[in-house]
Structure 1
Amino acid sequence: MKRGSNMPAVGTYNQTLVLDMIRRSPTGLSRIELAELTGLSAQTLSNVARKLSVAGLILEGERVVSGPGKPRTMLQLNRRARFAAGIHLDPSIDTFVVVDLSGSIVAHREAPPGDTDSTPDLIAALAANTRALLRSADVPSDRVLGIGAALPGPIDDAEGMLLAPPLLPNWHHTRVRDLLIQSTDLPVVVEKDVIAAMVGEQWADADHALRDAALLYYGAGVGLGIAHDGEAVRGRTGNAGDIGHLVVDPNGPQCQCGMRGCLGFTVAPERLLFDAGVTASLDLPWRAVPAGLDELRARAHDGDARALAVCARAAEALARAIVLINNMLDAGTVVIGGPAWSRLSELLEPRLRTILPTVSQITTTRPLRLVEARLGTDLAAAGAACLVLDNMFSARASGLMISDS
């Protein structure tokens, strides 16, 4: 549990700490409860609550009687006080969301990925879709904190640039952050998609169950989000989480890297569709992948032996990957989600849960906890929007630094 400070120089930290605790409580918290949780004095807490109220971030709720003494007034989050937009660039479909201050999705839309090599046109389309979604959600412009953009790696985090993702050639070496700022006049934060997804799941985690956890993202590719001590792990360059070449089957199909059984190639959507006979070639247009996965699911439901075998092999590969990842991290909790997972989870999850305890490589001493991502198909886009909220309203030790100015 994070504790507050009664030093006068740390008001910002205390405000974000108290706001975070109120946000995570479905019914709100009283000043007495907040004092007990944070260690803040009654005077400090009163000042913090007043500032949050003046900013419109919290509301005073009903008075609650609990035992003798004065009734307690519950402080509750004003969900519509602030909003953020999120964008996820994906080879098969672009996703746009708007979230409120609680991180709840209030608007969603999808659009085909841009097929032009004109960078201005690509950025203009993102900006237009974001503006249209904000209008449809009836969000006041002065309450929009900014835009988060979740991008497949690799990225240049210092420049806010998408470097050379193999499945998005039209976006190579694009300064997404700066160009979106110019096009929208809003602050923009750029993050690798798996890291954004991890932040989003943490933002939605009211019980702090994901302070130390891993997130397996299964979409056009596979990636890993990591949380340690409540913080998403970004790595030295912001590109942590590349697990596509983790070998899960030495006898599996040969990857482009020359190895056999790399996770990314073994469970790649186009590979599953080809092996199941849904498509006649591995060279599948990415826009056709969602419909192909739906067809694979339908065939498996109809008892098609080939489709069922493909799903079983995919579950086995994912199970082995999860075990190997947890052996390295000792996280204990693994979240799984992403666009491909959302379409196939009803087929993969039962098999995955059955296999996990039997994987021979397990070295951890406690049972592994597997949970589905709360943000569903919007995992990366909502995570990107939550990045904006997280940057503004998460209590971090850096907020305790005292300026000499």
Structure 2
Amino acid sequence: MTEIRQPTPRRGTNLPRMGDFNLTVILEAIRRSPGGLSRVELAQVVGLSPQTISNISRRLLDQHLILEAGKEGSGPGKPRTILQLNPGGMYAVGVHLDPAVITFVVLDLVGAVVRHSRMATPGGDPAAVITTIAEQITALIDDSGVDAAKIAGLGVAVPGPIDLKEGSVVEPPLLTRWNRVRIREALQQATGLETVVDKDVTSAAVAETWAGGASGAGSFVFMYMGTGIGCGIVLNDEVVRGTSGNAGEIGHIMVDPDGPPCDCGLRGCVKSSCIPQVLVAEAEAAGVLAGHRADADGPEVQERYAELCDKADDGDEQAIAILDRSATLVARAVSAVTNTLDVERVVFGGPFWARMAPYFLERVPALVEKDSAARMIHGLEVVGTGVGEDVGAVGAACLVLEDALAPRAQRLLLEG
């Protein structure tokens, strides 16, 4: 198993007028230390003076973003007070829109789910669906018992490609009526919450870095297994979004030269060979699943895919063969990505992951290890998400916390 390296802490600056940046640097250092840090340890980790640490710590305590969690110290001298994040200091709401299922969460400051719910993704007019989503958000906040004044905002994870400027999805698979729907603007107006939008695969990677534990450290790719398949990318603890926010679109990596034709003109792409909709159609054609619907929507695809996995669990050899082959093909795509990026870990997750996990975790690690260009130098770990099945929605909520709390270069710009 690959050794997990602790993330390199960001360093602060003692220059004047850097308070906001330094505040976020200190918050991040505390967040990345599960046991908390003393003021002395903070000064060592982030490179700020003891006085700066003391001043900012007082601000954070007054804002209820951190708390004093007891004292420690067994040697001579005064015991040190440990600072930790205050779970109830801030909250965020996350929504994950997948063609099969919409998931909702309320998240606290340490990344723990306070309340969650889910519903099958409705068909029909996007405006009506957005109204339903807004109603579900309101109900979820009420049920959570969280003070609405402490909710920092709403994060929304959507299928790619996305237009970050518009806050919209662009020709999303299996959500054909949603092209250029400005979901960020619509939900912000409907809920009154400041809203951010990002790709589902990127949101899942963000969730892993915030709440995944050891699996979210260092450099990894998050293989998102939903109605579509994509990957989120994290290099040296930084989420990679690409020029337009659309990094991780792997649907047209060829994994089977003799496979079915893809709409891109090639054969055997991930999109035409590996996604659940294709596997369900293959199982129907082979008689493993009864009936056939070429126009099945997302919820029905999820239901039929679960049926296929049930058949495999019961020992149906054809069903097992379909899942085995899909694992092999996905492993080829994973190898292409991991060899390109030279990461240390592959994390699988997403709405369809729980059902396919036993088959993939049995087969994919050895296949990926065999094809690893760096296998003589370092191992390549393959694991399931440490966040759980709500990873997309958790990641969406983490987008809000990241936007509010994570150190960013923009915070270093001096105001005139």
**TM, length-normalised to structure 1:** 0.94
Instruction: Report deviation, 1:121.
Output: 1.7
Cross-structure match for 1:223: 230
8 Å contact kept, 1:210–1:333: no
Q: Are positions 1:85 and 2:89 aligned together?
A: no
Q: Distance in 1 between matches of 2:133 and 2:255?
A: 37
Q: Are positions 1:68 and 2:79 aligned together?
A: no
Alignment of 1:372-387 (within 5 A): 372-387=384-399
Instruction: Report deviation, 1:209.
Output: 5.4
Q: Are positions 1:290 and 2:302 aligned together?
A: yes
Q: Are positions 1:370 and 2:378 aligned together?
A: no
Runs of 5+ consecutive residues of structure 2 not aligned to the other structure: 1-8
Instruction: Report deviation, 1:70.
Output: 0.4
Instruction: Specify which of 24, 28, 49 is matched with residue 41 of structure 1.
Output: 49
Q: Distance in 1 between matches of 2:186 and 2:306?
A: 35
Q: Are positions 1:391 and 2:403 aligned together?
A: yes
Q: Distance in 1 between matches of 2:302 and 2:120?
A: 12
Q: Distance in 2 between matches of 1:247 and 1:279?
A: 30
- 4+ long deviations beyond 4 Å: 205-209
Q: Distance in 2 between matches of 1:312 and 1:351?
A: 8
Cross-structure match for 2:161: 154
Give the AA of the match of 2:351: P
Instruction: Report deviation, 1:140.
Output: 0.4
Could you list the per-position Cα deviations for residues 114-143 of structure 1 after superposition, in whole angstroms to 9, with x for gaps in the alignment?
3222x4322211111111111111110100
Cross-structure match for 1:110: 118
Q: Are positions 1:18 and 2:26 aligned together?
A: yes
8 Å contact kept, 1:156–1:162: yes
Q: Structure 1's 164 and 274: CA in aligned 2 closer, same or farther, altered over 3 A?
A: closer
8 Å contact kept, 1:338–1:380: yes
8 Å contact kept, 1:273–1:279: no
Q: Are positions 1:265 and 2:272 aligned together?
A: yes
Q: Structure 1's 75 and 303: CA in aligned 2 closer, same or farther, altered over 3 A?
A: same
Q: Structure 1's 129 and 171: CA in aligned 2 closer, same or farther, altered over 3 A?
A: same
* RMSD across aligned positions (CA): 1.8
8 Å contact kept, 1:215–1:334: yes
Alignment of 1:3-402 (within 5 A): 3-117=11-125, 119-205=126-212, 210-276=217-283, 277-281=288-292, 283=294, 284-359=296-371, 362=373, 365-402=377-414
Cross-structure match for 2:4: none
Q: Distance in 2 between matches of 1:38 and 1:77?
A: 16
3-state SS, counterpart of residue 339 of structure 1:
coil
Could you list the per-position Cα deviations for residues 311-342 of structure 1 after superposition, in whole angstroms to 9, with x for gaps in the alignment?
11011111111111111111222221111222
Give the AA of the match of 2:155: G
8 Å contact kept, 2:351–2:389: yes
Instruction: Report deviation, 1:162.
Output: 2.1
Give the AA of the match of 1:122: V
3-state SS, counterpart of residue 377 of structure 1:
coil
Instruction: Report deviation, 1:156.
Output: 1.3
Instruction: Report deviation, 1:296.
Output: 1.8
Which shows bigger deviation, 51-60 or 1-10? Answer: 1-10
Runs of 5+ consecutive residues of structure 1 not aligned to the other structure: none
Q: Structure 1's 205 and 294: CA in aligned 2 closer, same or farther, altered over 3 A?
A: closer
Q: Distance in 2 between matches of 1:280 and 1:251?
A: 26
3-state SS, counterpart of residue 242 of structure 2:
coil
Q: Distance in 1 between matches of 2:293 and 2:332?
A: 24
8 Å contact kept, 2:212–2:387: no
3-state SS, counterpart of residue 56 of structure 1:
coil
